[in-house]
């Protein structure tokens, strides 16, 4: 029996997935959480074999949760299940130790099969996302440029961003200018949108 953890902040989605997967003779949902920062404790407490993680959750995003889970419990396989089919998310998830990445509209039978395959140590990738990931390549942004764009998402001024990141106004302007150039955007708002759409920033 494959012991499964489900992590999704939408209770209806989580409940529907649990009901469908529990119909499988060899899969048992043993615990459910609605926050990313609850994943590791729940996985350890229930000695789960596979964790199904949503990308976007409160407390901690699913990719960061996958990274922590991989460190705390290497035997547990991670399958990312997301509404947001972004190539950059797939790359980040694989780098964090995930074994698979599928979108939420995957049919129940295929989702159950994906759980079995990652449990066996295989990789499962949504084919369209895998192709998109190859086409888009890795993020061109440095870590600091990503930090600045993330802080710019809320629409604060350069001074606000500088204060939040403990940088000088000039340094923030330089990073914003560089990020705008690398994304091919005209404004910082467009740079944020393009970085999110490409999966270079968690949306």
Q: What is the pLDDT along the chain (203 residues), one digit of tens a residue?
A: 999 999 999 999 999 999 999 999 999 999 999 999 999 999 999 999 999 999 989 999 999 999 999 999 999 999 999 876 666 777 788 888 999 998 888 888 899 999 999 999 999 987 766 666 554 556 788 889 989 998 998 888 999 999 999 999 999 999 998 888 888 888 888 888 888 877 777 65
Domain that holds residue 37: 2-135
Predicted pLDDT at 131 = 60
Residues 155 and 116 in one domain: no
CATH of residue 14: 3.40.50.2300
Separation between Cα atoms, residue 80 and residue 85, nearest integer Å: 11
Give the percent of the chain with pLDDT over 90: 60
Count of the separate structural domains present in the chain: 2
Enter the pTM of the model: 0.69
Residues 68 and 50 in one domain: yes
Separation between Cα atoms, residue 47 and residue 30, nearest integer Å: 9
Separation between Cα atoms, residue 179 and residue 191, nearest integer Å: 7
Q: Which of 111, 135, 159 is the last residue of a domain?
A: 135
- Domain-embedded: residue 203: no
Residues 82 and 31 in one domain: yes
- Domain-embedded: residue 63: yes
Predicted pLDDT at 23 = 95
Angle subtended by helix axes 169-183 and 143-152, to nearest 10: 100
Chain segment 81-120, per-residue pLDDT in tens? 987 666 677 778 888 899 999 888 888 889 999 999 999 9
Residues 33 and 117 in one domain: yes
| 96 Cβ contact partners less than 8 Å away, ≥ 6 residues apart | 63, 64, 66, 67, 70, 78
């Amino acid at each position: 029996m494959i012991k499964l953890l489900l992590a999704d902040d939408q209770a209806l989605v989580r409940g529907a997935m649990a009901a469908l997967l529990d119909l499988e003779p060899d899969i048992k949902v043993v615990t459910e959480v609605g926050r990313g920062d609850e994943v590791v404790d729940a996985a350890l407490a229930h000695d789960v074999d596979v964790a199904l993680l949503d990308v976007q959750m409160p407390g901690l995003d699913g990719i960061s949760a996958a990274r922590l889970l991989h460190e705390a419990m290497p035997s547990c396989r991670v399958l990312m299940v997301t509404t947001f089919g972004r190539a950059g998310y797939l790359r980040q998830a694989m780098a964090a130790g995930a074994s698979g990445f599928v979108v939420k509209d995957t049919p129940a039978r295929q989702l159950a099969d994906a759980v079995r395959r990652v449990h066996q140590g295989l990789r499962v990738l949504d084919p369209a996302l895998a192709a998109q990931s190859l086409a888009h390549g890795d993020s061109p942004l440095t870590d600091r440029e990503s930090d600045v764009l993330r802080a710019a998402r809320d629409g604060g001024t350069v001074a606000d961003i500088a204060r939040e990141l403990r940088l000088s106004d000039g340094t923030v302007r330089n990073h914003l200018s560089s990020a705008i150039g690398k994304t091919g955007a005209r404004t910082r708002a467009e740079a944020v949108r393009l970085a999110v759409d490409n999966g270079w920033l968690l949306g």
